[in-house]
Amino acid sequence: MSEIRTIDSEAAMIAFGAEVAADLAAGDVVALVGQLGAGKTHFTKGVVSGLGGDPEAVTSPTFTLVHEYVAGCRLPVFHFDFYRMDEPGEVLGIGWEDYLDEAEGVLLVEWADKFPGLLPTGTKWFRFSLLESGARRVERHPEDGKVS
């Protein structure tokens, strides 16, 4: 069963990410799906904050493809963005499998629905949507509850 939340501010999205972080463990993969501006990066700020890191250090990795947040975090956070990638080989080319194999931290993946076959069993899926009111809707799917 999926869980749905309506989130009405950036601060509330960050707080939700921090709440999710409390349940994350080394090796967890979190798939973030949704259009531009739907809240994926603010959610990531919350996860980093919830793990003890600096949320202000978090930016979208659209052009760098992966950011690593380690300072102060109880678990390192590896923040990926598949938006600009066109084929699975590009994801593999940035060391995706190495990050999965090391499993010492949490992998957060924006635009994960572009290459769902590369995500492991047990991935936690979140779909972010913009509402007409300006609020965000976040649907949390059970593990392996891939969203399209």
Both tokens assigned to 112: 């994960």
Q: What is the pLDDT of residues 1-13, one digit of tens each?
A: 578 999 999 999 9
Q: What is the pLDDT of residues 112-142, one digit of tens each?
A: 999 999 999 999 999 999 999 999 999 998 6
Does the reported pTM lie above 0.75? yes
In angstroms, the CA 66 to CA 145 distance is 24
In angstroms, the CA 112 to CA 147 distance is 9
In angstroms, the CA 117 to CA 77 distance is 21
Eight-class DSSP state of 40: H
Q: Which domains does the chain have, with CATH numbers?
A: 3-141 (3.40.50.300)
Q: Which residues of the chain have pLDDT under 70?
A: 1, 61-64, 103, 142-148
Query: Which pLDDT does position 70 carry in this prediction?
Result: 82
Instruction: Please say whether the beta carbons of 127 and 112 come within 8 A.
Output: no
* Residue whose tokens read 């959610």: 43
